[in-house]
A and B are shown apart, each in its own frame.
Chain A
Amino acid sequence: MKKINIKKYNWRQTKNAIMTTLSTASVVVAVIPLFLIFFYTLAQGISALNIDFFIHMPKPVGELGGGMANTLVGTAILIGLGCLFGLPISIFAGIYLAEYGNNTFGTIVRFFTDVLSGVPSIVVGVVAYILVVIPMKQFSALAGGVALAILMIPTATRTTEEMIKLVPQSYREAALAIGIPQWKATLKIILPTAMKGITTGVLLAIARAAGETAPLLFTALGNRFWSTDIGHPMASLTVFIYDYAKAPFEDWNRQAWGAAFVLIVLIFIVNITFRFVTRGRYDEQQN
């Protein structure tokens, strides 16, 4: 019987231990920045937050304090516009992909939707500039909304599709069996059943849009004053952070951290909610 080469065996075991450790270590290294950024933002941001921060307007240069009330409203309006333009398209496209998309055309659309999600947000901003700002001859919230809509479409479309596909086939069969036409079954039975999942998926797309800065820089531009007019430049949380981070005033930098903290908390809440709402469903599908 051939004896095991102990030396070689030990070396293989050592190598195994080294590589396993390296792999585990890389997880630690990868997650460190998450905690660094989160806790630093928390520490810096919380000191900048008070009621004034949410209900007051930015103060002129040189004065301490002030708030970002207009940026919160601005971001909400911009996202509202993004949803208004983007969601109908996404939901109908998602329905098509889920219910009729099992063909070459569906595959192509699915593919291009994924590709669209890889287009840099700054490029989307440039397109919105060409499509809206140039014809209107003015920076406007409308242009920002168009940019955010284009950015939301890929995620929202694919989530709608996935969520509709999760509705059991028996629902469709039951509806068709009692004589409901297919379109009615889709709109009145399948869609409401999938609504919970779609809503959370859409929230995820919204959270991502809320964190976008680049496409707003030259569409919605930013505004230091109160404005709810969608035909004019509008403030947003992210552009506020950008302007205040670059500014050479310590008080402004502090407020940038405050705004970043608000943004990050909003986004994490949505992400964690999405995780919990979809967890059960994905499990069922996998098993």
Chain B
Amino acid sequence: MPPVVVSQTTMKQKTTHIGDKVFKTTTMMFALFVFALVFLMGYEMVRGSELSLKQFGWKFLTTSKWDPVAEEYGALPVIFGTLVSSLLALLIALPLSIGVAIFLSELAPRWLERPVSFLVELLAAIPSIVYGLWGIFVLVPWLRTSVEPFLIKNAGFLPIFKGVPYGFGMLAAGIILAIMVLPIISSISRDVLRAIPNSQREAAFALGATKWETTKIVLSDGKSGLLGATLLGLGRAVGETMAVTMVIGNRPEISYSLLDPGYSMASVIANEFAEATSSLYTSALIEIALILFVVTIILNVIARLIVWSITKKFKTT
């Protein structure tokens, strides 16, 4: 009888429909969880740092006394240390990274480009702790015995190169960070340059431009993308922990000399969190983590929006 057949098919359709719906909703829940994780992390840290937030308010960011014994916590020295070491790292890594990106996207033949890209990516795969180990036993002694005495002798009149060659200090941290952010900046810059349509290059070559003149045009097309890559590198440098902790010297003082030991936000958490005895101490350290979190989130959001929009723009046109 026809009616029975009809009801059977509708029933069957309905069950498969439900299966799909359940599956889609389930996977969506997990996707939602990943999305919510960012907010959950922020919320938990705000809750965890409540004590310190109430006690110090904005003063937390502007006072420079970090004294667990007197229960006084000011984050200025560690913020300063993070800023200086990260900016130093960018100063060293940025020109090199752009050079690498130009090589990979504009100059290298295909057979060379792949292995070189891979080597640069491998640099990113080395764990932070191994960088730190190498920093302690190779980089720091080298800085102490050769580089820093040389700098003091020849450039000691500059306030940034005054002092005693400790080896451990801002300079060591900046160099290690530069090595660590180089892969991320160069690989994203390479992707940005590659996204720029070939017609731009062809047009320049057709007008008789040299390779470098063409590259300059490509670079100016990709300007904003390169900025995005730089910001992502900065985000990485700001949050880098182990390698910096092992070479920066860990002294919560502000000094204008790059040769002096300093401290960074990530290092102070790494060193002191497990030993924080009072709840205010823990709370202050969580507040530093919260600042790091907010800063890296902002950097990442801006950078990724820039990189996304530029690669999308050139893809559609």
B100 and A217: CB pair below 8 A? no
Instruction: Choose the segment among B51-59, B127-135, B155-163, B166-174 that binds chain A (4+ C-beta atoms closer than 8 Å).
Output: B127-135
Please tell me if the beta carbons of A263 and B130 are within 8 angstroms of each other in the complex: yes
Q: Tell which of A114, A183, A187 has the most Cβ of chain B within 10 Å.
A: A183
Counting chain B residues whose Cβ lies within 8 A of the other chain, the interface size class is 35 or more
Give the segment of B71-79, B205-213, B252-260 that binds chain A: B205-213
- CA gap between A238 and B270 in the complex, in Å: 14
User: Which of B146-154, B196-204, B234-242 lies at the interface?
Assistant: B234-242
Residue A122 CB within 8 A of the other chain:
yes
Q: How far is the CA of A130 from the CA of B282 in the complex (A)?
A: 10
Flag whether B41 is at the interface (Cβ < 8 A): yes
**What mask results when residues 160 to 196 of chain A are scored 1 for a CB within 8 Å of chain B, else 0?**
0000000000000000000001111011000000000
Chain A residues contacting B28 (CB-CB under 8 Å) are 96, 100, 105
Chain B residues with CB under 8 Å of A29's CB are: 96
With contacts A211-B128, A217-B273 taken as known, whether A153 is within 8 angstroms of B34 at the C-beta atoms is yes
Closest to B175 in A: A33
Cross-chain contact of A208 among B104, B125, B238 (Cβ < 8 A)? B125
- A273 contacts chain B at the CB level, 8 A cutoff: no
Does B226 touch A at the CB level, under 8 Å? no
The reply on B164 being an interface residue by CB < 8 A is: no
Assembly CA distance A236 to B133 (angstroms): 16
B30 to chain A, nearest CB (A): 4
If A92-B30, A120-B239, A267-B127 touch, whether A31 touches B273 (CB-CB below 8 Å) is no
Known interface pairs A37-B126, A131-B44, A256-B133. Does A186 touch B23 (Cβ–Cβ under 8 Å)? yes
* Interface assignment of A1: CB less than 8 Å from any CB of chain B: no
Q: Are A97's CB and B19's CB within 8 A?
A: no
Contact residues in B for A271 (Cβ distance below 8 Å):
121-122, 125
Chain A, Cβ-Cβ closest to B120: A30
Does B270 lie within 8 Å of A214, measured CB to CB?
yes
Indicate whether B300 reaches chain A with its CB closer than 8 angstroms: yes
Is A249 an interface position by the 8 A CB rule? Answer: no
Q: CA–CA, A217 to B241, complex, Å? A: 11
Contact of A207 among B19, B106, B125 (CB under 8 A): B125
Interface string of B212-243 (1 = CB under 8 A from A): 11010000000000000000100110111110
Given contacts A26-B95, A114-B304, A218-B274, contact A41 B130 (CB under 8 A): yes
Which residues in A have their C-beta under 8 angstroms from that of B141? none
| A residues in contact (CB < 8 Å) with B | 12-13, 15-16, 19-20, 22-27, 29-31, 33-34, 36-38, 40-41, 44, 88-90, 92-93, 95-97, 99-101, 105-106, 108-109, 111-116, 118-127, 129-131, 139, 150, 153-154, 157, 181-184, 186-187, 207-208, 210-214, 217-218, 221, 238, 241-242, 245-246, 253, 256-257, 260, 263-264, 267-268, 271, 275
For the complex of A and B, list the 7 residue pairs with the smallest distance between their C-beta atoms, beginning with the closest: A120-B239, A26-B99, A211-B127, A183-B23, A92-B30, A118-B300, A96-B27
